[in-house]
Amino acid sequence: MSTKIVVSKNPEELGKKAAEDFVRIARHSIEEKQRFTIALSGGSTPRALHAKLIDADLDWSRVDFFFGDERNVPPDHADSNFRMASETLLKPLGIAEERIHRWKTELLVLNEIADDYEADIRDHVYVDTNGLPRFDLIILGMGSDGHTASLFPHTEALKEKDRFAVENWVEKLDSWRFTMTFPVINNAANITFLVAGKDKARTLIEVIQGARRPRELPAQSIQPTNGEMFWYADEAAASLLRNVDVYA
Ligand code: 6PG
pLDDT at 248: 56
Q: From the alpha carbon of 177, which atom of ligand 1 is closest? A: 7
Q: Are 224 and 191 in contact (CB under 8 A)?
A: yes
Residues near 108 by Cβ (< 8 Å), separated by ≥ 6? none
User: Residue 166: which pLDDT band, with cuts at 50, 70 and 90?
Assistant: very high
pLDDT at 242: 86
Distance of CA 232 to the CA centre of its chain: 12
Q: What percent of the chain has pLDDT over 90?
A: 96
Angle between helices 11-33 and 46-53 (to 10 degrees): 60
pLDDT in tens, 88-132: 999 999 999 999 999 999 998 999 999 999 999 999 999 999 999
Q: Is the pLDDT of residue 243 over 90?
A: no
Cβ-based neighbour number of residue 122 at 10 Å: 11
Q: Are 196 and 11 in contact (CB under 8 A)?
A: yes
Q: From the alpha carbon of 70, which atom of ligand 1 is closest? A: 7
| Ligand 1 probe mutation, 14, 40, 44, 45, most atoms within 8 A of CB | 45
Mean pLDDT of 17-38: 98
| Ligand 1 probe mutation, 14, 40, 41, 167, most atoms within 8 A of CB | 41
pLDDT in tens, 203-237: 999 999 999 999 999 999 999 999 999 999 999 99
Q: Are 180 and 149 in contact (CB under 8 A)?
A: yes
Residue type at 86 in one-letter notation: S
Residues near 181 by Cβ (< 8 Å), separated by ≥ 6? 151, 157, 160, 161, 163, 164, 165, 166
**Burial, 134: exposed, middle or buried (Cβ in 10 Å; 0-12, 13-18, 19+)?**
middle
Dist. CA 34 → ligand 1 center (Å): 30
pLDDT at 247: 67
On whether the pTM is more than 0.95, the answer is yes
Q: Is the CB of 149 under 6 A from ligand 1?
A: yes
Give the start-end residues of each E strand in the chain: 5-8, 36-40, 63-67, 69-71, 137-141, 165-170, 175-180, 190-195, 228-234, 246-247
Q: What percent of the chain has pLDDT over 70?
A: 98
Q: Is the pLDDT of residue 2 over 90?
A: no
Q: Is the pLDDT of residue 190 over 90?
A: yes
Distance from first CA to last CA of the chain, Å, rounded? Answer: 19
| Ligand 1 probe mutation, 147, 178, 181, most atoms within 8 A of CB | 147
Q: From the alpha carbon of 71, which atom of ligand 1 is closest? A: 7
